[in-house]
Amino acid sequence: MRVEPVRALRGELTVPGDKSISHRAVLLGALAEGRTEITGFLPGVDCLSTIACLRRLGVAIEQEGSRVTVHGAGWYALREPEDVLDVGNSGTTIRLLAGVLATQPFHSVLVGDASIARRPMRRVTAPLRAMGAHIDGRADGEYTPLAIRGGPLRAIHHVSPVASAQVKSALLLAGLQADGETAVTEPQRSRDHTERMLRAFGAELTLCGTTVRVRGGQRLTGQRVEVPGDISSAAFFLVAAALVPGSDLVVRGVGLNPTRTGILDVLKAMGAEVEVEETGEACGEPVGNVRVRHAPLAATAIGGDLIPRLIDELPVIAVLATQAEGVTVIRDAQELRVKETDRIATVVAELSKMGARIEATPDGMIIHGPTPLVGARCDSHGDHRIGMALAVAGLIADGPTEIARAEAVAVSFPDFFDRLRTVAK
């Protein structure tokens, strides 16, 4: 993909449905009793992997673009799959499904692509084993393929060393069928879409500080789910508008869950003009419009509790920081090293090719700005968020930027480049 510099980004747009919420909507729909009707579903490759795995487990699902109907027949209507369950590139699919399969009295095998094969799984397999599930995988349950034989589980209180919504969600799902009350404590709060959606499907959960508790033996009932736009997808446009002089852009209908809006805090802290209008709620999730206008940018410090609220936005925040006056320091973000790629290494390598003054640290990045960027031959490394972050960098570079393996954007944002063309002036 070739990206040329633009004069400004102006107008309005919507972005596809939230990836995290789309996964959870089909998954809970599959486990619930009755029909679940989903609108605004993200037909990205990752969420289609979740649908494919659920179909293999015997769930009837109709999908046409962003409309999905799931015919849930209850938690124990899943049946032993005849072949392996392939999660493709999706960490959310494998970790949440591991939690569900731990409750099922049959054998299943989870596999994924080369990136999934490198991502850590013991963070879910160890506590699920402690609950009584039989799980094996390479390096003692750390890597795929994961072979799972589930069954009756006992509740545990798991204190997670990482703030991870995938770990928390896997254990809450398993806990829904365990004997007793399962509790998960995190060092900081991670995104809470699972908790919000479980409540919408009729389950009871309690939250105290960073501990969530769920009682076993609860049933879910099919619902109507309206998925809001994905703020992580909107982030590429919001950052682009903040970067390109003369820009004035509105993203409509985007999810504003406070566990996801760290990007808005960073844009404001760096000096961009940001207006947020909350317009309503869908399935327990706040929704609204966000307007961003370009303004001179200043460096900021990013770390601590803010990190889980913007973890997936850090690649594009690094691009933003290249144009901010001063030194931006990102720390406490070591989780970036175990995403689709090592996002600290890939961001530093690719932005350096464009002339950025950026260095890697064990848990983040240090970025000096403002530094003019130059068009270069870059590579997404097969990571959707790296591909889109590089496209945003290309909008402000001198000369064209070529992005190899740009098709990776389809994991979370299939028509990213088309939508970019509609607002680029």
> Segment 5-64, which members bind ligand SPQ (CB under 6 A)?
19-20, 46
For the CB of residue 146, give the shortest distance to ligand SPQ in the complex, in Å. Answer: 15
Tell me what percent of the chain is helix, strand and coil, each rounded to the nearest 5.
35, 30, 35
Q: Is 182 in the site for ligand SPQ (CB under 6 A)?
A: no
Binding of ligand SPQ at residue 90 (CB under 6 A)?
yes
- For residues 190 and 196, give the distance between their C-alpha atoms in angstroms, rounded to a whole number: 13
Q: Does 260 bind ligand SPQ (CB under 6 A)?
A: no
CB nearer to ligand SPQ: pick between 135 and 336:
336
- Using the minimum distance from each CB to ligand SPQ, give the nearer residue, 286 or 369: 286
CA-to-CA distance for 334 and 50, rounded, in angstroms? 27
The answer to whether 285 contacts ligand SPQ (rule: CB under 6 A) is: no
Piece in contact with ligand SPQ (CB under 6 A), picked from 33-41, 84-92, 127-135, 207-215: 84-92
Q: How far is the CB of 312 from ligand SPQ (least distance, A)?
A: 4
The binder of ligand SPQ chosen from 164, 182, 223, 323 (CB under 6 A): 164
| Cα–Cα distances in angstroms (integers) from residue 211 to residues 225, 263, 287, 301, in the given order | 26, 24, 25, 27
For ligand SPQ, the closer CB: 92 or 125:
92
Among 108, 177, 190, 328, binds ligand SPQ (CB under 6 A): 190
CB 165 to ligand SPQ: min, Å: 4
332 burial level (CB within 10 Å; 0-12, 13-18, 19+): middle
Q: Residue 208 contacts by C-beta under 8 Å, 6 or more apart in sequence?
A: none
From the list 379, 338, 337, 343, the residue with the least C-alpha distance to 358 is 343
Q: Which of residues 117-136 bind ligand SPQ (CB under 6 A)?
A: none
Identify any residues that bridge with 147 across adjacent strands, giving them in sequence order: 109, 136
CB atoms within 10 A of CB 56: 18
- Decide if residue 233 touches ligand SPQ (CB under 6 A): no
Residue nearest to ligand SPQ (CB): 91
Selected binder of ligand SPQ within 29, 88, 91, 375 (CB under 6 A): 91
Q: Is the dihedral of CA 390, 47, 17, 66 positive or negative?
A: positive
Shortest distance, position 20 Cβ to ligand SPQ, whole Å: 3
| Contact range with ligand SPQ by CB under 6 A, out of 162-170, 215-223, 240-248, 266-274 | 162-170
CA distance 417 to 344: 24
Q: How many residues bind ligand SPQ (CB under 6 A)?
A: 19
Pick from 86, 192, 195, 312: which binds ligand SPQ (CB under 6 A)?
A: 312
Of these, 311, 314, 333, 354, which contacts ligand SPQ (CB under 6 A)? 311
Token duo for residue 336: 């970036």
Count, residues in the chain: 425
For residues 123 and 294, which CB has a smaller minimum distance to ligand SPQ in the complex?
123
From 15, 42, 131, 165, residue interacting with ligand SPQ (rule: CB under 6 A): 165
**What tokens does 296 get?**
């001179």
Q: How far is CA 402 from CA 161, 166, 389, 398, 417, in A?
A: 39, 33, 13, 12, 13
Residues 384-403 binding ligand SPQ (CB under 6 A) are 385
How near is the Cβ of 144 to ligand SPQ at its closest, in Å? Answer: 13
Number of CB atoms found within 10 A of residue 161's CB: 9
Which of 46, 230, 312, 379 is catalytic? The answer is: 312
Closest Cα partner for 15 from 207, 250, 178? 250
Q: Which of residues 327-386 bind ligand SPQ (CB under 6 A)?
A: 335, 339-340, 385
Eight-class DSSP state of 184? E
Annotated active-site residue 332? The verdict is no
Q: Count of CB atoms within 10 A of residue 209's CB?
A: 8
Binding site for ligand SPQ (CB under 6 A): 19-20, 46, 90-92, 164-166, 169, 190-191, 311-312, 335, 339-340, 385, 412
Report the catalytic residues: 312
